[in-house]
Structure 1
Amino acid sequence: MTKHVIFDFDGTIVESRYLAVELLNELAPKYKLRKIKESEYEHLRSLSIPQRCQAINLPFYKLPILKMDLTKKYRRATASLQAIDGIKEVLGKLKAGGMTLSILSSNSTENINAFLAHNNINFFDYIISSGGLFGKDKAIKSFLTKHRLNNKDVIYVGDECRDICACQKNKVRIIAVTWGYDAEELLAGCHPDALIRNPLELYNIVLNMT
């Protein structure tokens, strides 16, 4: 039976997709990137991370350094960010139903806590930063070990293919959401356990997977 639901943060709980584009464009001169036009956004969502890097002329080896810069700039915009419409209500229902809720994200715990406090979201038992963009599989494994959780006791909710891959490595079930960073067809190609298009679907999907 599912005891624990782990959430990604950016794109899953918080609407930060357009902020990411804005910050990337701010950093474009420093990293000699091609600025992203608004008309390109949906197309970029359908690309893998290496393909996105190529599209904006970002050498893949510079991605970790760029990510650190983005995380630092993110904090100043925390107060203006909004939760995904309907997600707060779903979190409340899951918590009231006895679920333990956590966030595991590549964003910093400082940024996450600032957003949660500003938006009066207080349903989470644990908040963990996985550090780098591609460290989630190790972070999930460490989390399961630390809290003595069987992988069958856990469901992860995320919006990117890298979330799906990290969960598959740990044999953790994952619900992929289409309102975040990666396009629906990209997510479907990674074969999540469930794929949903509306936050209101989440509660019933979690119950059906227990």
Structure 2
Amino acid sequence: MSETPDEAVYSGPPIRLVIFDFDGTLSDSGDWFLSVIDQIARRFHFRTVKDGEVEMLRHKSSREVIAFLGIARWKLPLIARHVRGLVGREAHHIALFPGTPGLLDRLSATGVKIALVTSNSEANARNILGPDCAAKIDFYACGASLFGKAPKFRKVLKKMGIPAAQALSIGDETRDVDAAREVGMRAGSVLWGYASEAALAGQAPDTLFRTPEEILAYVAGRRG
């Protein structure tokens, strides 16, 4: 990878915008999702996930996971809509990762703009974030299809008037890296979410983040 969080000298384009994924990046929804995945599989007729397969799937790309589960592409929007409905009813079971409030607060205080691009709904994201954290997000682009984040990224960049080269996408899945690359943004991957470090590193993001503090340090060193 070309950049690391502790570089002392930086002369590239400044970071003016950070675009976060939500589930698995800011929201600790993994255990909840595993608790409902079998009922979703039965409803939409795809392969259920056995206990011993969870770790194995973390090492696969997003597209490989879809193929392994045998999910037809045409079903993905239906599944996403169903999951958003489940989250809306069970949001009280889903918490933010412990470092999320401090991360958003400190990042916002630097003057960097913050956006949220997620397949979840804005109502669900705001509910789980709570009013204080939700207020730190400058722009919401929600309801993205599973592999449709790139158009949402372009919408955010256009709305906020910030070039792709001055934006950083942060997510926890391989598809987040792919979407960022498609629009010419830098891509950072967190290691506390869904995909394994090996799977994420295989997509060659600009950097991997082990803690929220590393995100803050990375952005602070690239403010221009």
Q: Deviations over 1:54-88 (max 9, x none)?
A: 43333333222212211111111212211112122
Q: Which amino acid aligns with 1:6?
A: I
| Residue 181 of structure 1, CA deviation | 1.6
2:109 pairs with 1:96: yes
Q: TM-score, normalised by structure 2?
A: 0.86
Would the aligned equivalents of 1:24 and 1:70 in 2 still touch at CA under 8 Å? no
2:65 pairs with 1:52: yes
2:32 pairs with 1:10: no
Equivalent residue, structure 1, for 2:78? 65
| Matches for 1:1-210 after TM superposition, within 5 Å | 1-117=14-130, 121-210=134-223
Would the aligned equivalents of 1:14 and 1:83 in 2 still touch at CA under 8 Å? yes
Q: 1:144 to 1:17 in 2, by over 3 A?
A: same
3-state DSSP of counterpart to 2:220: helix
- Per mean C-alpha deviation after superposition, the further-off stretch among 45-54 and 150-159 is 45-54
Q: Deviations over 1:122-146 (max 9, x none)?
A: 3111111152111111111122122
Q: Take 2:172 and 2:131, find their aligned partners in 1: how far apart are those partners?
A: 23
Would the aligned equivalents of 2:122 and 2:143 in 1 still touch at CA under 8 Å? no
Q: Take 1:141 and 1:120, find their aligned partners in 2: how far apart are those partners?
A: 24
Q: Which amino acid aligns with 1:41?
A: V
- Per mean C-alpha deviation after superposition, the further-off stretch among 121-130 and 168-177 is 121-130
Structure 2, unpaired ranges of 5+: 1-13
| Residue 209 of structure 1, CA deviation | 3.0
Structure 1, unpaired ranges of 5+: none
User: Pairwise CA RMSD of aligned residues?
Assistant: 1.8
3-state DSSP of counterpart to 1:155: strand
Q: Take 1:167 and 1:155, find their aligned partners in 2: how far apart are those partners?
A: 8
Would the aligned equivalents of 1:130 and 1:139 in 2 still touch at CA under 8 Å? no
| Residue 121 of structure 1, CA deviation | 4.7
Percent of aligned pairs with the same amino acid: 29
3-state DSSP of counterpart to 1:157: strand
Q: Deviations over 1:27-62 (max 9, x none)?
A: 222223332233321111111233323433333332
Q: 1:144 to 1:47 in 2, by over 3 A?
A: same
3-state DSSP of counterpart to 2:114: strand
3-state DSSP of counterpart to 1:113: helix
Greater relative contact order: 1 or 2 (C-alpha under 8 angstroms, separation 6 or more)? 2
